Amino acid sequence: MEQRLRGRVILVTGSTTGVGEATARRCVAEGAQVMVHGLEEEWARAVCADLDDAARYLICDLGDPANCARLVAATVEQFGGLDGVVNNAALTTRSNLESTDAAFFDRMVAVNLRAPLLIIRAAVTEFRKRGRGTVVNIGSINGLAGEENLLAYSISKGGLTTLTRNLANALAAERIRINQLSLGWVATANEIALKQREGLPPGWEKNVPRAYAPTGRILAPEEVAAHVAFWLSDDSAPANGTVYELDQFSHIGRNVTKAF
Catalytically annotated residues:
153
Which of 28, 35, 47, 111 is close enough to bind ligand NAD by CB under 6 A?
Answer: 111
Q: Single out the residue of 146, 138, 65, 162 nearest to residue 100, CA to CA.
A: 146
Per DSSP, what are the bridge partners of residue 84?
Answer: 10, 134
90 binds ligand NAD per the rule CB under 6 A:
yes
Cα torsion 163, 153, 231, 11: sign: positive
39 binds ligand NAD per the rule CB under 6 A:
yes
183 binds ligand NAD per the rule CB under 6 A:
yes
31 binds ligand NAD per the rule CB under 6 A:
no
The terminus-to-terminus CA distance of the chain in angstroms comes to 38
116 binds ligand NAD per the rule CB under 6 A:
no
CA separation for the pair 140, 92 (Å, rounded): 11
Which of 61, 106, 174, 235 is close enough to bind ligand NAD by CB under 6 A?
Answer: 61
Q: How far is the CB of 174 from ligand NAD (least distance, A)?
A: 26
14 binds ligand NAD per the rule CB under 6 A:
yes
Under DSSP, the state recorded for 141 is G
3-state secondary structure of 150: strand
Which of 4, 54, 63, 244 is close enough to bind ligand NAD by CB under 6 A?
Answer: 63
Q: Spell out the residues 6+ positions from residue 85 whose beta carbon is closer than 8 angstroms to its own.
A: 10, 11, 12, 13, 72, 119, 120, 123, 133, 134, 135, 136
Instruction: Considering only the stretches 117-125, 168-176, 178-186, 196-204, report the one whose residues sit in contact with ligand NAD under the rule CB under 6 A.
Output: 178-186
Residue window 184-213: x/- pattern of binding to ligand NAD, with contact defined by CB under 6 A: -xx-x-xx----------------------
